[in-house]
Amino acid sequence: MIAAVMVILAVSVFSIGAVGRIVNGGETTVVRGQAFAVGEQSTRSRSGAVTLDDLAANKLVAEGAPAPRVDCPLPAVDTTEPGLLAFYQAALTCLNATWQPVLVARGLPFTVPRVTVTEWSSARCGFTPDEDEALAFYCPGDRMIAMPRDRMVRTADDNAGYHLAVLAHEYGHHLQLLSGLLEDAALLEADLDEAGAAEVSRRAELQANCLAGVFLAAAALTPELVDDADSSFADTISSDSHGSAKNQVHWAAAGKQTTAPAACDTWSAPDHEVD
């Protein structure tokens, strides 16, 4: 769920289902991982209750200029800690160049997130999810994308497309924070029962997949890298809070078919597209 309380901290939680494969002694084991966005609950006040219509009307997914075409030179994936961090930082440069003009054109603020490859935690997030709960996660309070090196290498090895897809999804949570979607979704979920809250979580997570797809369409990447990124979206499982495997792939493809963020309005999508 998006809203949760950890110790004395109010924490917002988004999670997606992902499937990792660990190869050990020639045998492949399928394991479940997740990517979280964790952080402080909204302190922004609104008049009246937040609705799905409010989220659908957010400027991030309004009609407007598409994401620009961006050159994206990336190094090969070196799975050492410094090498992996260098890959992520190069990818962040591409993500920033793609999304900054989109947000500015829509009158939204833009800040650059940070990325870490360590097992990292923060008082603003309250906890570091265990590996069986999270592959990667985003902390809005610190505007930090955590891509723990050991977890990522066990799941993605040196597959650049897989690493890039996970990072682009987590960056999608950063965009949701900057646009106010993350806060409003947490406020909406707080007013709903368990089933309604799970639906909000699915819509948020599927939107992050779609925003990742927009980036893959906008960035000048090799066809092989894009194919590997596509495969990573298909390498998933169905979850009540994250969406069906079919819809996780559907929304990533919807974003990739266009560089227009308006394609990522999961908030007004029919139920069968966000189940």
Q: With pLDDT > 70 as the criterion, what percentage of the chain qualifies?
A: 82
Between the alpha carbon of residue 15 and those of residues 96, 133, 143, 172, 255, the distances in Å are 23, 9, 16, 12, 19
**Whole-number pLDDT of residue 242:** 77
Q: pLDDT: is 82 or 129 the higher one? A: 82
Other residues' Cβ atoms within 10 Å of the Cβ of residue 136: 26
Q: Tens digit of pLDDT for each residue in 179-197?
A: 999 999 999 999 999 999 9
pLDDT in tens, 217-256: 999 999 999 999 999 998 888 888 778 999 999 999 999 9
pLDDT for the residue numbered 240: 81
- What mean pLDDT comes out for the span 17-30? 32
Helix (H, G, I), strand (E, B) or coil at 45: coil
Q: What is the pLDDT of residue 48?
A: 66
What lies within 8 Å, CB to CB, of 134 at 6+ separation is 15, 33, 34, 35, 36, 151
Specify the pLDDT at position 91: 98
CB count, 10 Å around CB of 170?
Answer: 28
Lowest mean pLDDT segment, chosen from 10-19, 37-46, 261-270: 10-19
Q: Which of 170, 179, 44, 214 is nearest to 103 (CA)?
A: 179
pTM of the model: 0.86
How much is the pLDDT for 47?
53
Q: pLDDT tens across 193-214, in order?
A: 999 999 999 999 999 999 999 9
Average pLDDT on 38-66 reads 75
Q: What is the pLDDT of residue 138?
A: 92
What pLDDT, on a 0 to 100 scale, did the predictor assign at position 26? 33
What mean pLDDT is reported for the chain?
A: 83
Residue 7 has pLDDT above 60, yes or no: no
For residue 46, what pLDDT is reported? 53
Strands lying side by side in the sheet with 144-146: 3-6, 9-24, 27-40, 136-139, 144-146, 114-116
> Which of 43-57, 73-87, 95-109, 233-247 is the least confident region?
43-57
Question: Does 127 have pLDDT greater than 80?
Answer: no
Q: Which residue has the higher pLDDT, 29 or 34?
A: 34
Confidence class for position 126, pLDDT limits 50, 70, 90: low
Q: Please state which of the ranges 20-29, 90-99, 188-197 shows the lowest mean pLDDT.
A: 20-29
Q: Which residue has the tokens 């990336």?
A: 74
Tokens of 170: 């987590």
Q: What is the mean pLDDT of residues 99-110?
A: 96
Nearest partner of 258 among 228, 205, 208, 218, judged by Cα:
218
**Among 25-29, 33-37, 84-88, which range has the highest average pLDDT?**
84-88
Three-class SS of 101-168: HHHHHCCCCCCCCEEECCCCCCCCCCCCCCCCCCCEEEECCCCEEECCHHHHHHHHCCCHHHHHHHHH
